[in-house]
Amino acid sequence: MTRYSYLGPAGTFTEAALRQITQPGDELLPYGNVTAALEAVRTGAVDKALVPIENSVEGVVARTLDELALGDELVISAETTLPVSFALMILPENDGKPIKKIATHPHAEAQTRGFIAENYPDAEMIDTPSTAAGAEGLSKRNYDAAIAAKIAAENYGLKVIAENIGDNEGAITRFVVVEKPGNLPAATGADRTSLVAYIDIDHAGALLEILTEFAKQKVNLTFIQSRPTGRQLGHYHFIIDAEGHINDAPVKAAVDGLRGICDDIRFLGSYPRTR
């Protein structure tokens, strides 16, 4: 049995993604935010965590990137993706009543702005830690409506009044399985390597220097994002996903090259990629 933490409460897209990869008997424990879910791994309360890392429409999940880059070291051991479809839900007894407050996660709001503007232009949008948290709050009568996965309505006894309300059909979220360092999945020939490259101080050509190391080895990058270190203005690091396994010669050579030009490198794992 494996104990997993995930971005809860019950009924989140993260839970749906986690159920794609778990086995009967595994224990799934919801946490209130990404930080708490990853901290549960660090403390040993769980074996692994599943957290969202990027969405095809809204982009990166900044909290996940920052936790992996700046917290005590963790590594990614697997990934999975999930098509995302949003529903608008209300309390059954409030059917037909005005909707003045709608609760959801900021990423969900960003992906349903067209629907909201057309149908509820005067509604106040309330941010919640997850879409399911919005549904849970609605069940406690904190709001008039919530935007979440359809399964959240089933979990909290809510009524769906509109389905597939996303502005972009085919939206997909990528999730990563995170655990303590020590488990390196074997190379499969279709892998992804994630790492953080820390630069001493921002300077002209810093990003080009990093990209050049991968270009020299003909390693394709699938993701790159700059994030502030939080120390002071001008201090940044880059979170990078590269095609290939760390034990593949080109990837290893590129990473070795980075060690010569970066202040530090944090290896975040090599694992089979899903896309």
- 218 & 261 share domain: yes
| Residue 267 in this model has a pLDDT that exceeds 80 | yes
- 153 & 24 share domain: no
CB 95 within 8 A of CB 161: yes
CA dihedral 254, 257, 261, 264 (to 10 degrees): 70
pLDDT, tens digit, 9 for 90 and up, residues 237-261: 899 999 999 999 999 999 999 998 8
- 235 & 259 share domain: yes
**206 — pLDDT class (breaks 50, 70, 90):** confident
Q: What is the pLDDT of residue 170?
A: 81
- 45 & 175 share domain: yes
CATH code at position 99: 3.40.190.10
**% of residues, the chain, pLDDT over 90:** 76
CB 76 within 8 A of CB 175: no
Helix (H) or strand (E) segment spanning residue 49:
strand 48-55
| Residue 65 in this model has a pLDDT that exceeds 80 | yes
Closest by CA to 228, choosing from 239, 240, 242, 212, is: 239
Q: What is the pLDDT of residue 204?
A: 66
Q: What is the pLDDT of residue 171?
A: 86
| Residue 101 in this model has a pLDDT that exceeds 90 | yes
For the chain, how many structural domains are there in total?
3
pLDDT, tens digit, 9 for 90 and up, residues 126-165: 999 889 999 999 999 999 999 999 989 988 999 999 999 9
- Characterise 180 by phi-psi region: left (phi > 0), alpha (psi -120 to 50), beta (else): beta
For residue 95, CA distances in Å to 112, 118, 160, 243, 270 come to 21, 19, 10, 50, 49
- Structural domain includes residue 206: yes
**70 — pLDDT class (breaks 50, 70, 90):** confident
| Residue 100 in this model has a pLDDT that exceeds 90 | yes
Q: What is the pLDDT of residue 238?
A: 92
Q: What is the pLDDT of residue 72?
A: 93
- Structural domain includes residue 55: yes
Q: What is the pLDDT of residue 205?
A: 73
State the average pLDDT over residues 202-212. 80
Q: What is the pLDDT of residue 30?
A: 95
Longest pairwise C-alpha distance within the chain: 64
| Residue 66 in this model has a pLDDT that exceeds 80 | yes
Domain that holds residue 51: 3-84+171-179
- 19 & 144 share domain: no
Q: Is residue 161 classed exposed, middle or buried when 0-12, 13-18 and 19+ CB atoms within 10 A define those classes?
A: middle
- 55 & 175 share domain: yes
Q: What is the pLDDT of residue 234?
A: 65
- Structural domain includes residue 136: yes
**107 — pLDDT class (breaks 50, 70, 90):** confident
The pTM of the full predicted model, rounded to 2 decimals, is 0.85
pLDDT, tens digit, 9 for 90 and up, residues 17-53: 999 999 999 999 999 999 999 999 999 999 999 999 9
